[in-house]
Amino acid sequence: MNKNNVAEKLSEILGLPLEVIEKKLGRTIRIMSYKGIDYAVLREDLGKYREGTTILLDDEKIIHGYPSIQRLALLEGVPLHMIDEIVVEEKMDGYNVRVTVTSGRVVVAITRGGYICPYTTARINKLYGDKIKEALREYEDIVLAGEVVGTENPYVVYEYPEAGGFDYFIFDTLKDGKLLPLRIRDEITEKYGLKHVPVLARLRKDDLVGLKKVIDDLDRRRREGVVIKDPEHRVPPLKYTTIYINIRDIQEGMKYPFDEGRGYLFSRIVRLICQVYEYNITGEELNRLAERLGKAILLPAVESLKERSKGRLIAATYKLVFPSEEDLNDYLEFIEELGVEAVVKIVGVSSRGIEVELMKLKDTHGYYSKILETGYSPLD
């Protein structure tokens, strides 16, 4: 397809003026291809379409971006925003993946940003390809949205014993970009042998004691937090994360202080401030928490600087398992197209596939190098 045809087609599918599309094409609208499936990615909101929306050009199908979820600082906010009953689901710590089937019956996995990720697609197909095809034959207008979790992916590495390296937990179903009642998700996953995120409780919206109990339990189990939903999605969901994960995130992020940025650190400190207030944490317990926070900020950052001073690379390492060589090649093409700076090493071949180590160099590498070379601070 040439550029003019693409612009016309997009203008038609999205119902937006041709000039608008032409201006954005190649910039905030990006054209990509996966196994001969041409698609467009919206890299920022465009009219009523959310960032991360994907348009399958041949199918003329729009896969809307998954909506952003409002974060709560205080659990006391729950009764202010919900209607009557709430469903408390586990918020799993991985990455957001929408799944759809093309008219050619290819199951594709789309990341939050709107890209068909060849790695995620290959792994999900291997686990659930046939089941998803059957499910989406019956529910043909529906897009599945879920979290990929585990240690074998190039995005968010966090161990879930139940995930065995890589698994997919569905948390919502969407139709025309709208979240559908939770029972549709439960029906589909039950009927077709797919997994959904754990539903931890169904409570009245003002049962804060019950809600805190659920969150305390997650904190002890070192889990990320909850998403609180209206069973029918009549009002938007809310998210809330545990003290444990807020500190652990800081600890992880501060390995690469110049990558995660100041917003990353400050937002998590604000979460903790409100938690200390609402949970009324005082005295010795508060001192211990402050110490954990201080260590989480300082220690990983210093450790990385020492590593750099010894000449080591400051990079994040990921373990990936590709079901086939073709899958690996598709993925390599994909990251090259996106301009991801990465070193890829094949570390072994097993019955599960080709095991690969992927290293992504961090911006912190460059910043630390400069500091060590010049003695200058990059910040005032």
Binding site for ligand ATP (CB under 6 A): 66, 68-69, 89, 91-92, 96, 147, 171, 197, 227, 239
Cα 58 from Cα 199, distance rounded (Å): 37
Task: Name the residue nearer to ligand ATP (CB basis): 214 or 227.
Answer: 227
Q: What is the Cα–Cα distance from 218 to 369, expressed in whole angstroms?
A: 39
Q: Output the smallest distance, CB 171 to ligand ATP, in A.
A: 4
Token duo for residue 370: 């400069």
CB 89 → ligand ATP: shortest distance, Å?
Answer: 4
Ranges of H-type helices in 144-256: 182-192, 208-220, 243-253
Nearest distance in Å: CB 333, ligand ATP: 26
Distance (Å, whole) CA 282 – CA 276: 8
Task: In whole angstroms, give the CA distance from residue 160 to residue 200.
Answer: 16
**Minimum CB distance to ligand ATP smaller for 264 or for 279:** 264
What backbone torsions phi and psi does residue 222 show, to the nearest 5 degrees?
60, 40
Q: Are 166 and 158 in contact (CB under 8 A)?
A: no
The least distance separating ligand ATP from the CB of residue 316, rounded to whole angstroms, comes to 17
Order of strands across the sheet that contains 315-322: 315-322, 353-361, 342-350
- Is 160 or 367 the residue whose CB approaches ligand ATP more closely? 160
CB-wise, 9 or 223, nearer to ligand ATP?
223
Residue 68 or 329 with smaller CB distance to ligand ATP: 68
For ligand ATP, the closer of residues 149 and 297 by Cβ is: 149
User: CB of residue 4 vs ligand ATP: minimum separation in angstroms?
Assistant: 34
Q: Cα torsion for 184, 100, 325, 344, to the nearest 10°? A: -90
Distances (CA, A) of 346 to 327, 354, 362: 13, 7, 21
- Amino acid, res. 17: P
Q: Whole-number minimum distance, CB 172 to ligand ATP, in Å?
A: 6
Nearer Cβ to ligand ATP, position 68 or 324? 68
Nearer to ligand ATP, 165 or 198 (CB): 198
Q: How far is the CB of 41 from ligand ATP (least distance, A)?
A: 16
CB nearer ligand ATP, residue 96 or residue 364: 96
3-state secondary structure at position 269: helix
DSSP state of 225: E
**Best CA proximity match to 246, nearest among 229, 228, 266, 227:** 266
Sign of CA pseudo-dihedral 76, 149, 32, 347? positive
Sequence letter at residue 292: R
CA–CA gap between residue 163 and residue 150 (Å, rounded): 6
Which residue's entry shows tokens 């199918």? 59
Distance CA 182, CA 127 (A): 23
Of 218 and 297, nearer to ligand ATP (C-beta) is 218
CB of 237 to ligand ATP, least distance (A): 6
From the list 243, 312, 308, 311, the residue with the least C-alpha distance to 277 is: 243
CB of 218 to ligand ATP, least distance (A): 12
Q: How far is the CB of 69 from ligand ATP (least distance, A)?
A: 4
Tokens coding 253: 């992020």
